[in-house]
Amino acid sequence: MAERQADRGGFPGVQVTPRDEHNQALVDNVHPADWVNPTPPRGRYDMVVVGGGTAGLVTAIISAGLGAKVALIERYLLGGDCLNYGCVPSKALIRAGRAAADLRSAHEFGVEIEGETHVDFAAVMERMRRLRASISKHDSAQRFQEEGVDIYLGSARFTGRDTVEVDGTSLRFKRACIATGARAAAPPIAGLEDTGYLSNETLFNLTQLPGRLGVIGGGPIGSEMAQSFARFGAKVTQFEAGAGILGRDDPAAAHIVQDALISDGVQLIVNASVTGVRQDGSEKRISFAKDGLDESLHVDEILVAVGRAPNVDGLGLEAAGVEYSQRRGVQVDERLQTTNSRIYAAGDICFPYKFTHTADAMAAIVVRNSLFFGRSKTSALTIPWATYTDPELAHVGLTPAEATSKGIEITTFEQSFAEVDRALLEGEGSGLARIHVKQGTDEIVGATVVARHAGEMISEITLAMTTGVGLGRIASTIHPYPTQSEVWRKLASQYMKTRLTPFARGLLSRIIRFRR
């Protein structure tokens, strides 16, 4: 179970274990034990930011860089989810898992390794902690102080429409931004709280590999960690209530990822409802219903990865006149303004797309709209996302179902990586890419790609959509050969062929004959 404690000995809030030199360096950066909060200036801050995750940090540093007097309040660890128990540590584990998988499949490339490969899980986790600590300097209290941001470490609570209190000190503001993010949500499964479980907030504290890991949830976090821990050697069972994992994504693309997880040894149980959890000696017993039958299995640890809950409790939002709900978080309009015109919000606390890069983009909107009379809207954002399984699955824009719901008629072009030379040479021909355009035009409205580095590849299409570049321009763009990004040129060529109507073909044929 996610463990929280009021330990002021350098490890406040979410417990950071083990207490080794790397975690000590992390905490020294993002919540130093000897930190002394500043004395508030006379008058008001131009911007007070509540929450030191990505949205809060970016809002604070941009505002300060533009000349505003800024305060940032963080209760736990600066850097938020992304640095401490999200993007950074998870990608370190994913990379280690990929290394183990590559060694096991080396024989496919004519490389023979004598004996079995062995994963030193303690070393994997030590590497993660070391790298996380080295990255943490970018989010450190010292760095932001040097950039002109007043850092207050403590619990924030609004006491009025233009005041917020942090550990007994009152700050007045002209504008404020709520950026307290979200936390792992636990489903109401009987016995789960009493039995205990891991979430993304505690998973990265492990130092020993669980022999058997049960993963509840088939979304990005559950799928990424299920595959990685299976590659480390754990016996992983993943439960998903739907018909397959990654239900928000293109079904054909998600199916490719699902097959990869199963190939790596993940036992996937879909259309299953976890009905109860209880301690059974040293084991944890998971009871579930599938196909009308009640079944159970024993595991050593349980990872719950079924969604996020906004961090709205204890903020005094009522006193500030800010409307919110426990499920959706803080209520904002398209310009990220709350029901209090002085207060804005950004990131996971108020937006359905809970990604670090989205929080970054929203922070820029908050600064423009709150400090400079901007009119930027979140509806104008083109938001890509990626799931970092192997292969990765990345998407941007509309899916076919979303296009239909909006009344947009589309044409879809699909390209298998089995026909992309570099993918074949890399042994990665099972992927695919799809692009959706408005019917009768080359205007891109969405795209999906499944490939080992799909997260890198999707940016070309995101840029095209943001700048209004259509498939026709992509067709005329030279892509280096051989690369997997050549898949976009192949898709664009498919579009160009549709423009060659029988009439156009006949006309071109006559021109060619004439020039003879």
Supply the pLDDT for residue 21. Answer: 97
Supply the pLDDT for residue 15. Answer: 61
Rounded-to-10 torsion of CA 384, 385, 389, 392: -10
Q: Where are the domains of the chain?
A: 4-184+309-380, 192-307, 391-498
Which fold does the domain 192-307 belong to in CATH?
Answer: FAD/NAD(P)-binding domain (3.50.50)
CB 149 within 8 A of CB 70: yes
Locus of tokens 């994992």: 245
Contacts of 13 (CB under 8 A, 6+ apart): 4, 5, 31, 75, 76, 77
Beta bridge partners of 295: 288
Q: pLDDT in tens for each of the 516 residues of the chain?
A: 333 333 333 344 446 899 999 999 999 999 999 999 999 999 999 999 999 999 999 999 999 999 999 999 999 999 999 999 999 999 999 999 999 999 999 999 999 998 888 999 999 999 999 999 999 999 999 999 999 999 999 999 999 999 999 999 999 999 999 999 999 999 999 999 999 999 999 999 999 999 999 999 999 999 999 999 999 999 999 999 999 999 999 999 999 999 999 999 999 999 999 999 999 999 999 999 999 999 999 999 999 999 899 999 999 999 999 999 999 999 999 999 999 999 999 999 999 999 999 999 999 999 999 999 999 999 999 999 999 999 999 999 999 999 999 999 999 999 999 999 999 999 999 999 999 999 999 999 999 999 999 999 999 999 999 999 999 999 999 999 999 999 999 999 999 998 876 666 666 677 777 776
pTM of the complete model beyond 0.85: yes
Q: What is the number of residues in the chain?
A: 516
Find, among 160, 180, 182, 183, the residue nearest to 50 by Cα.
Answer: 180
Beta bridge partners of 250: none
Letter string b/e over residues 13-42, b meaning 16 or more CB atoms within 10 A of that residue's CB: bbebeeebebbbbbbbbbbbeeeeeeebee
Rounded-to-10 torsion of CA 356, 359, 364, 369: 180
Supply the pLDDT for residue 11. Answer: 40
Does 391-498 match 192-307 at the fold level?
no
Helix (H, G, I), strand (E, B) or coil at 262: helix
CB 181 within 8 A of CB 171: no
Find, among 55, 78, 48, 57, the residue nearest to 166 by Cα.
Answer: 48
C-alpha span between 271 and 290 (Å, rounded):
6
CB 443 within 8 A of CB 467: no
What are the CA-CA distances from residue 155 to residues 17, 49, 67, 447 (Å)? 22, 12, 26, 42
Supply the pLDDT for residue 507. Answer: 65
C-alpha span between 449 and 462 (Å, rounded):
12
The CATH number assigned to the domain with range 391-498 reads 3.30.390.30
Which fold does the domain 4-184+309-380 belong to in CATH?
Answer: FAD/NAD(P)-binding domain (3.50.50)
